[in-house]
Structure 1
Amino acid sequence: MAAGTLDRTVLSGALLLALPIAVLAGLVSFFSPCVLPLVPGYLSYVTGVSGTDLAEARRGRMAAGAALFVAGFTAVFTSYGALFGNFGFVLEEHRETITRVLGGLTIVMGLAFTGILGGFTQREFRFHRRPTTGLAGAPLLGVLFGIGWTPCIGPTLAAVNALAFNEASAGRGALLTVAYCLGLGLPFLLAAVAFRRMLGAFGWVRRHHVWVMRAGGLMLVAVGLLLVTGLWDRLIGDLQVWSSTFTPGI
């Protein structure tokens, strides 16, 4: 019975459409100019290994530190998603209007992310009191990252939270932000276990970060337009019809 409930939840039209968008939003956040350049510093801090020794550090320790760090900010962002999903349920009567307002804000933030509206999206709050370096302090640093860097990655996170509100469910909202954290956290884990190889990929992204940000911003604008025009609900309806006839393999 629990498996059937899970199937109905994951295969709902809304989540089929929203989950990949949430993952992509997380990837865009990772490659933003206010996160990517700090990756070596984060890895050094959460593993207790100096920056010059990261390439030679033990993979197990690197992976453990990165995983604990990711778990920290995932706890923060998942609470956001659950909160917005619950708001969508409580405000069901006004959900359509609020969803369109959130869609409009998503469009504005997408335009800001492309650089058209200035660079306010690259601001962040910083905590001057740092946790202990090493594995013990990794989860706390992840929590501080989740709280302190929210203004920086706000456009992408806001889009995911708008989708969570549209779900009108705390559980589905939380699931969407877990998908977002997967997109944001997986590159951290890959960088931890293959730091030297990932440096080349990061270098390419940094050289072309303007186009990466523009592509991410246009994705947010597209999501916002779907929400504002009501096309999002139409797509969901079509996917729900399709998913109701889909039987997953065993």
Structure 2
Amino acid sequence: MSAPVTEAALLAVEQNQTVFGGALLLALPIALLAGLVSFFSPCVLPLVPGYLSYVTGISGTDLGEARRGRMALGASLFVLGFTVVFVSGGALFGGIGMTLQEHREIISRVLGGLTILLGLFFMGGMSWLTRREFRFHAKPERGLWGAPMLGILFGIGWTPCMGPTLAAVTNLALVDGTAGRGALLMVVYCLGLGVPFILAAVAFRKALGAFGWVKKHYAWVMRIGGLMLIATGLLLVTGAWDHLVQEMQVWTSGFEVGI
């Protein structure tokens, strides 16, 4: 005998009947901005030249003279590696979120409060926790062959460093997700984090100049990221997120393909 279908479960099914439903349209730009903030944060940006040197097999002093094709390929393989890690996690948490739709309201408020705390923490600078990484004694082969594995290790080892922004995207996957939506949110997060890696590889010398400007304005990077997290948390805690989702659901009612 099948279990009774709750009103919350029916609502979840209705909300997930469109690819670009209201919740997803709201969450995608947040995920993209979270990825960009992660890239420009103090614990990632200074390491970009080192990563590019490792994944291309080219010494740091020669990066500016290296072939763009090799640089772009090495960076792309590196990005592919950490994308696999984050997208897998997004699908997992999205699937978990779908099974908890009956308790969606309380989960939304709890995760909203957590997101606000993460935003306040982020604006205060990176503490000892987010500066840490998990150390791996075994290193992949230097060069193009080792680039995907280095990306995987980056995705696993630097998760604490990118914790606040990554957690915000994970929270959105839990609140409104299915496995497909959770994975899609992480794909967009990885675009925000990964595309600058690839652009830095293609135009390394120009990127160094831009990075220098960003380093001088790290405080604003942290403030923008923190304010984004706080705003998202407030939407979840107050229930305004659900109201916006319902409004956007009306706008997107013409899309009938599920995800």
Q: TM-score, normalised by structure 1?
A: 0.92
Name the structure 1 match of 2:239.
230
Where structure 2 has 5 or more consecutive residues not aligned to the other structure, the ranges are: 1-16
SS of equivalent to 2:130:
helix
Alpha-carbon offset, residue 181 of structure 1 = 0.2
Q: Which aligned pairs between 1:73-88 and structure 2 lie closer than 5 A?
A: 73-88=82-97
Query: Greater CA deviation, 120-129 or 222-231?
Result: 120-129
Q: Which residue of 2 aligns with 1:22?
A: 31
1:180 counterpart residue number: 189
Residues 192-222 of structure 1: per-residue CA shift (max 9 Å, x gap)? 1000011111100011011111111110011
CA contact (8 A) 1:92 1:168 kept: no
2:48 and 2:97 mapped to 1: Cα distance?
A: 34
Correspondences of 1:206-221 after superposition (within 5 Å):
206-221=215-230
Which of the residues 152, 164, 168 maps onto 2:173? 164
Distance 1:62 1:117 in 2: 30
Alignment pair present for 1:134 and 2:143: yes
The partner residue of 1:94 within 103, 112, 115 is 103
Greater alpha carbon shift after TM alignment, 47-56 vs 238-247:
238-247
Equivalences for residues 1-16 of structure 1 within 5 A: 9-16=18-25
Q: Where does 1:41-120 land on structure 2 (aligned, <5 Å)?
A: 41-115=50-124, 118=127, 120=129
1:97-148 Cα deviation digits (max 9, x unpaired): 1221111111111111101795533332222321110010000000000000
Higher fraction of helix: 1
CA distance in structure 2 between the aligned counterparts of 1:55 and 1:97, rounded to whole angstroms:
52
Distance in structure 1 (CA, Å) of the matches to 2:128 and 2:227: 16
**Residues 1:193 and 2:202 aligned together:** yes
Instruction: Give the corresponding residue for 1:4.
Output: none
Q: Which residue matches 1:5?
A: none
TM-score, with structure 2 as normaliser: 0.89
SS in 2 for 1:131: coil
Report if the CA contact (8 A) 2:18-2:255 is conserved: no
Q: 1:102 is matched by which residue type in structure 2?
A: L
**Take 1:142 and 1:84, find their aligned partners in 2: how far apart are those partners?**
21
Cα distance in 2 for residues equivalent to 1:237 and 1:64: 42
Query: In structure 1, what is the Cα distance between the partners aligned to 2:138 and 2:226?
Result: 33
Q: Structure 1 CA distance, aligned partners of 2:93 and 2:21?
A: 18
> Larger deviation: 233-242 or 114-123?
114-123
SS in 2 for 1:121: coil
How many aligned residue pairs are there?
A: 240
AA aligned opposite 2:83: T
Which one has the largest radius of gyration? 2
* Per-residue deviation, residues 13-60 of structure 1 (Å, max 9, x unmatched): 111111011000000000010100000000000000000000010111
| Distance apart, 1:245 and its partner CA | 5.4
